[in-house]
Amino acid sequence: MSVPEPAVHLAFLISAGMGHLNPALRLAAVFLRYGCKVTLITPKPTLSLAESNLISGFCSSFPQVTHIDFNLTPLDPTEVNSDDPFFLQYETIRRSVHLLSPILSSLSTSLSAFIVDVFLISPILSIAEKLFCPIYIYFTSSARMLYFIAYVSVLADSDSDAQPHPSTFIGDAVQIPGFTSPIPRSSVPPPFLLQGSNSFQRMIMEDSRKLLKLDGVFINSFEELEGEALGALNEGKVVRGLPPVYGIGPLMACEFESVDQGQRGSMSWILEWLDEQAEGSVVYVSLGSRTETRKEQIKDMALGLIECGYSFLWVVKLKKVDREEEEGLEDVLGSELMSKVREKGVVVKEFVDQMKILGHPAVGGFVSHGGWNSIIETVWEGVPILTWPQNGDQKITSEAIRMSGVGIWADEWGWGTEKVVKGKEIAKRIKEMMSNECLRVKAREMKEAAKKACGVGGSCEVIIKGLIEEWKRNAQVT
């Protein structure tokens, strides 16, 4: 009687924010398509309704998934030096991880691997000895950002201070072994350089040293896009002993990400409007779901879009993720300017199906905050991009895109929270993006490379199949 081939059972522990949730669920969907058993562990409560809806959509699309709510221990905000809702949620999850042990021990089949969010490295490793399975993280940014985080511990250990603050060992630029282009101090995520301790600093400093204890890192990138960075990481040039970094990108939108019933009407008329526009004539503008657009900047953004001469689809966010108050756009712009905006373009405030918009022939360029998910989606559709970083890793990801040749970065604008960029400057940069034929050709070439990486026999398939076989062999041994 033959022994059945061992099934591969993966558990995913997700974190906060659509930028972290989306790639985790897309990665889980890839493994599901290759026949793996998946258990999804989701912190409760979620930070936003959008996250809750996305999780529900995923579980409806894949009913074979085991979904477990992970009830968090409430956090006293006074214990954490941050008012950022995302960092507060990250810290809450980190402090609740010890409660996972009974959840994991109750699973009906043993785990082949545990895949967790990048912001949960240290707390997960603290219970790793009880799991008896490999631990992987999914990294939600670029390979360029990963090698910065990996190198932080080296910089800290080289500082003479026993407990160095990042501002003491981050000079004017960080030159990392194995990479030709340094990371300037101005591109380092601002919370990392703030005076005084904060949750983001502590998290990065603690987790950087723990990367070596992981069994692997999944990253939504691929060789043609970030070959130098991926090579430096995997060849030990950045930090010796770093685990394998698997470029399993591009991870693409799946069926579970379709907009809900209340948003389908908006998408319908948006697509109808795009159908009426000439090919490559529309500028799509969206500065991300995490940060609201500053009122001081909105007027100049409107003026720049009007002056650039192109039709535009502008997704504007006027409230924070954890707040309900919201002004109307006309309250900010005034009726006269709002009328001019409506003559030239379309403005929406709801979540949109970004992939459908980027994939529409009428869209010729994307003004983005430089979030990695948005960048990968843009690369997949072959659309040139102009990045305007707002916070976090977005300057480092913008540099990665500029180096790849598929986009431009208005680095002279600084962070989106620092100053008001005038409408004339915005119009000038949009014209540069839309009229640059070299940019357009490179974007098309990268699109083909992305399709190849995701296709039959491509790098993503090779990596996923190889890991599944490895996990099966490990199960037979044990």
Bridging pattern class, strands 37-44 and 216-219: unpaired
Contact 386, 304 (CB under 8 A): no
Sign of the CA dihedral 468, 471, 477, 478? negative
> What does the alpha-carbon distance between residue 347 and residue 65 come to, in Å, rounded to a whole number?
37
DSSP 173-207: EE--TT-SS-EEGGGS-HHHH-SS--HHHHHHHHH
- Can you list the alpha helix ranges (DSSP code H) found in 220-283? 223-234, 261-275
The three-class DSSP label of residue 284 is strand
Residue in 69, 76, 98, 117 annotated catalytic:
117
How many contiguous H segments (helices) and E segments (strands) does the chain have? 20, 15
SS3 content of the chain, % helix, strand, coil (to 5): 50, 15, 35
Distance of CA 328 to the CA centre of its chain: 28
20 is catalytic: yes
Residue 324 has phi, psi (to 5 degrees) of -105, -25
φ, ψ (nearest 5 deg) of residue 7 = -80, 150
Q: Which of 9, 20, 360, 369 is catalytic?
A: 20
* 360 among known catalytic residues: no
Active site residues: 20, 117
